[in-house]
Amino acid sequence: SSWLGKAAQTMEKTTELDLLKCWLVSETFGDGRVPGSYEDLFIESLPSPADLIHLPIYWGSKDVSLLEGSCMGQQLAERRQNIHFFHSELCEAVLHNDKEFDPDEVARVLTLEN
């Protein structure tokens, strides 16, 4: 399990999907990727956020504002709030459970803008 996954396992209500997301983030943005490995080839095959711009979760605030007052806008706001909450809890868990990590490095890997 990844260092993010280990931290996520200490959190309440962590799902297998959460652990998969942690693995993907640590493999994608961490320094441990081995070029040409099966993991690297898998990650390279995944779509980038630019490829997924048609999904509202990747929209900027200007486009999201067009959904204000709609059911979809409300669902998107709730989903983003849940992502932000999980992200905050994960950052806290990493810093609390593994003192060897530099907080700046954790912030770089866990930034929501990646």
Q: pLDDT tens across 1-36, in order? A: 677 788 888 888 888 988 888 888 888 776 677 888
Q: Distance (Å, rounded) from C-alpha 109 to C-alpha 62?
A: 26
- pTM for the whole thing? 0.71
Dihedral over alpha carbons 50, 38, 26, 18 (to 10 degrees): 80
Percent of the chain at pLDDT above 90? 25
Give me the count of residues in the chain.
114
What was the pLDDT predicted at 21? 85
Distance of CA 111 to the CA centre of its chain: 8
Alpha-carbon gap, residue 104 to 38, rounded angstroms: 29
Nearest to 24 by CA among 58, 16, 72: 16
